[in-house]
Amino acid sequence: MKIRQSFQQYVNLRPVKLLPGAPSPLAGRSPQDIDMVVLRENTEGEYAGIGGFLFPGDPEREVALQTAVYSRVGVERIVRHAFDLGRRLKKSVTSVSKGNACNYSGVFWDKVFREVAEEYPDVPTRSYLVDAASMFFVRDPSRFGVVVTGNLYGDILTDLGAAITGGMGLA
């Protein structure tokens, strides 16, 4: 993470594409049905490394803290990258967050996504909660073109993407 942060390597781009002849656990799916790109913010979020322990070793009071970090600069630049990619590829851009439960970081992510989306009226957009997006990755992966999300959700969704395209070895 320190190297990513030091060199501002904020884009983690993961294609999720079913290759011709590759088996998918999703019955009846073809390469045209599973062809998306997931952009994961690579320097912030839950993996930023901010947190700690309170009362370590105390069986009644021990607490672990993990703080998610979402800056305007960080969210805006990954979202803008997603829209530029969506425009270039002529694909929709879908934001994935958890704004209904993460009252600050999720709401902030959604707000910045909407603001940037206004600058790209030619690019179709969607927003999903991460649980709904996970379901649609399996039930209807063709609805996704470019997916943009934070570090933790992107980590999970790209592993799910690998599973629906034949496994981690094909990702």
Q: Is 91 a catalytic residue?
A: no
Question: Which of 100, 107, 104, 108 has the alpha carbon at shortest distance from 132?
Answer: 100
Q: Catalytic residue, from 10, 47, 70, 128: name it.
A: 47
Q: Quote the tokens at residue 42.
A: 């690579």
Q: Is 84 a catalytic residue?
A: no
**Which H or E run contains 37?**
strand 35-41
Q: Is 131 a catalytic residue?
A: yes
Q: Catalytic residue, from 90, 104, 140, 159: name it.
A: 159
DSSP string, 92-144: -EEEEE-TTT-TTHHHHHHHHHHHHHTT-TTS-EEEEEHHHHHHHHHH-GGG-
Q: Catalytic residue, from 10, 110, 128, 155: name it.
A: 155
Q: Catalytic residue, from 98, 110, 128, 153: name it.
A: 98
Q: Catalytic residue, from 90, 104, 111, 131: name it.
A: 131
Characterize 12-47 residue by residue with b for buried, 16 or more Cβ atoms within 10 angstroms of its Cβ, and e for exposed: bebebebeeeeebebeebeeeebbbbbbbbbbbbbb
Q: What is the DSSP letter of 74?
A: H
Sheet holding 93-97, edge to edge: 11-17, 35-41, 146-149, 93-97, 125-129
Q: Is 104 a catalytic residue?
A: no
Q: Is 47 a catalytic residue?
A: yes
Active site residue ranges: 47, 98, 131, 155, 159
